[in-house]
Amino acid sequence: MELFGFIQMELQIFFSFARVKEKYRVTFDSLKGNQFVVHKGDRSDQVFVESNCGLYFTDVFETGFLFNTTAEIVNNNYKYSSRDHSKATLARKVERIIGRPSTKYSIHLVKNKLLTNCPLTKTDILAAEHIFGPDIGSLKGKTTWKKNVHVDMSMINISNELLSKYKDVVLVVDIMFVDKIPYLVCISRHIKFITVEMIKYLKQRSNQPTKKADLG
């Protein structure tokens, strides 16, 4: 769930019109009302008027929030005491630490006391779900796998002019270590063709790979 602004002091919400206009039509007329009007899809308008300090704002208590999903999340904050809200915040933090399990499995963990010294209860986890909504990281981590697009292996004809210009290949060679295993890395200039070959035996004075690397 994406918010087009940020919440400050639990009362003021600031929006970026550059983000809002991606989904809604926004109009402004400095002579008629001097206000920004966001035309929503339900045939209602959200009006932002200029404040004394020069910023444009909307009264969310009179007109409602710009996005219903945002209003639901923000309004849910006022349904809990400060203590319950803090415990719900802790519940969401713990869920992220332990790998973002589902709400059902999180409740199973706290009910059976499988988390050592965990002060959370089933109520705290449900409150976190109610206040913050589904965890975005959890939803992304559970996305179903999709088959990769087939790679086209067709040959590309290279012009004779290009072959003639770069017929002399200059290689830049170095030895790279990965987990203390040496590899011979070759990069050709201009065309940037890279080859890598593991070195089975590396002597102190003579660096010779046991297999001939494919130098393209």
Look up residue 160 and give its two tokens. Answer: 């004779």
- Tell me the pLDDT tens digit for each residue of 176-207: 999 888 999 999 888 788 999 998 877 655 44
In a domain, 205, yes or no: no
Domain range for residue 167? 163-198
Number of domains in the chain: 3
92 plus 54 within the same structural domain: no
Whether 93 is covered by a domain: the verdict is yes
Distance between CA atoms of 16 and 124, rounded to whole angstroms? Answer: 33
pLDDT per residue as tens digits for the range 95-137: 999 988 888 999 999 999 999 899 999 999 999 988 888 887 7
Q: Judge whether 36 and 28 are in contact, CB under 8 Å.
A: yes
* Residue 44 pLDDT level (bands cut at 50, 70, 90): confident
Q: What CA–CA distance (Å, rounded) separates 73 from 1?
A: 10
Rounded to two decimals, the pTM is 0.36
| Rounded CA separation 197/108 (Å) | 50
Which structure tokens are listed for 155? Answer: 């040959």
Residue 153 lies in a domain: no
> Which has the closest alpha carbon to 198: 186, 181, 183?
183
